[in-house]
Structures are given as C-alpha cells and as structure tokens.
Amino acid sequence: MLARKVSNPSLIAILLVTLIFLLWTAKWCNLVYSKPLIIPKPTSLDHKRIAIVTFITDQKSYIHLSLKNKDHYAKRHGYDLVVDYESHADRGTTWLKFDMIERLIEANQHDWIWWMDFDTLITNTTMKLEDIISETLANSTVPENVDFLVTDDCNGLNDGSFIVRSSPRSIKFLNRVRALHDSEQLNDNGLNDQEAMRDLLLSKAPVTKHVQRIPQWKINAFPPEIRCYDNSRRVWENGFFVIHFAGAWAHVKEDDPTGFLMRKYEPEIIWAPEPKKGTVD
C-alpha cells in the first residue's frame, strides 16, 4: 500500500522546524556536557609533586608581598600553593600548620609539602625545591627513611620553614608532637608547636630517625638584623633561597618590624621569568 502524500504545507513546516531544533539541541548538548580533552603538562622524570603551605589569620602590612612572592614561585616551578585564612586548631593558631599538612597528606596529591611561615620571602625563585630534597636524600644513609627536613637557629629547632614527605608515617610523627604538647599541658607546661617538636627531637625517640637536619641557610636563612643562627652561622646573602624574619619584633626598633624588613629585602628578590604555557622547568 502506497503512503499517503502529505499535502499540508503547515504540517511540513512544523516537521522541518522540529527536525532542525532536535539537531541543534543534540549539537549544543554535546558541546556543553562533553568533557574537554586535558593534555597534561610535560614534566621531567624527577619532577616531584610539591605543595607550598602557609596561613595568615590577621591583617598585616605585607600580605600582598608575601602571597605574590610565593604564588610566583609556585607557578614558576609547577608547584601548588595552599593558603588558609582562618584557624580552627584546638591547640592554638600556630598548630594550624600541622592540621594543614595532615589534610594534604591524606589527600594524597603530593610527594612533598613545604611549610613556610608567612613572614618569609623566597629570595631566589630560580632555585628548585626538589633539588634541595634530592641533594639531602643523596647524602642520607637511608634516603627512604627521611620524612622531615628541618633547620635550627640559635635556640634550637626553628619550624618556620621545613619540608615534609607526604606519607602516613609523617602523620604519625605529627601526632607524637601533638601528644607531647597534650601531656605537658596536663603538667601546666604550655608548649607551642615549635617547642613541642624541638623537645620530641631531643628525646631521641625512635620516630625521630625520620627527621634530617639541614643547614639553616638552605631554606630558613636569617638576615643580619636577626642574629640567631645555627652552628653554620651563615647570614642570609644575596642569591640565597629563602629569608625568614622570625622574631623581628625583638631585633628591629620599628612600629612594624616584620613589614619593615619584608619591604627592605623585596628589591633583593631574584624573580625568575614565568614558564611558557604548558611547561614546567
């Protein structure tokens, strides 16, 4: 039986409009909801996934400078920069650093985590953090046992800049530091995060074998205004990697001692050029 001829012009027009609409909708949906092709940035075989971590929880005169400096460095080398602005740490604000590090380890997105106090500047942004890590591990008897790279100052440990392997074993170490604080708190001996970590290292407990001390000037150099150095007694100089203005209030007679030093040393920063899009040095 032959199909009946469609002779109604209005019906034909409706069918054509409907067909065009369906074709347009299918194309649009495909554009909106299809996942884009993501081409990963090429990296060298020894490139490590690194996060730079810091926090600032109150107003300071040098917030922009500190953030700009760390953001530039992270982009330059393909690292992540993680910043927190509110503290919910039970033991006090300075303990937030341990909480942030633990969260990043649990996320399992990085190989190493670099904690930096906010009153620091990376003064040579051409240097790669993984080179310092690799050099330290190469000089270690058992490289795979090293989880923390820390430095001293004239008072012992200074945890204003230290490097952590992203490993569950590192969380166990942080928990031991917290436990020491809590036990001392029961004896009315309040310890901040730096003091608790210092005392744990002095205890020579088995967990401390995973901590490697490196010279202060490598990742935590102090300027001549803050004369509190480790046994190497090396003062920050132009070309060094990092400068830290720890305890500036006790050494510089200015209304804003840390801000004063941050601005003073800003012109000494070696700013590396931005990498080409899609590449990492």
CATH number of residue 69's parent domain:
3.90.550.10
Q: For residue 170, how many other CB atoms are within 10 A of its CB?
A: 19
pLDDT at res. 188: 80
| Residue 270 resides in a domain | no
pLDDT classification of 279: cutoffs 50, 70, 90: low
Maximum separation of any 2 CA atoms in the chain, in Å: 104
At 94 the three-state DSSP class reads: helix
| Residue 170 resides in a domain | yes
CB–CB of 144/197 below 8 Å? Answer: no
CB–CB of 219/149 below 8 Å? Answer: yes
| Residue 246 resides in a domain | yes
* Number of structural domains in the chain: 1
| Residue 227 resides in a domain | yes
| Residue 99 resides in a domain | yes
| Residue 71 resides in a domain | yes
pLDDT at res. 13: 59
Average pLDDT over residues 227-255: 98
| Residue 65 resides in a domain | yes
CA distance 92 to 216: 26
Instruction: Quick: pLDDT tens for 138-191.
Output: 999 999 999 999 999 999 999 999 999 999 999 999 999 999 999 998 888 889
Residue span of the structural domain in which 129 resides: 50-265
At 270 the three-state DSSP class reads: strand
CA dihedral sign, ordered 195, 86, 171, 143: negative
| Residue 72 resides in a domain | yes
pLDDT at res. 37: 30
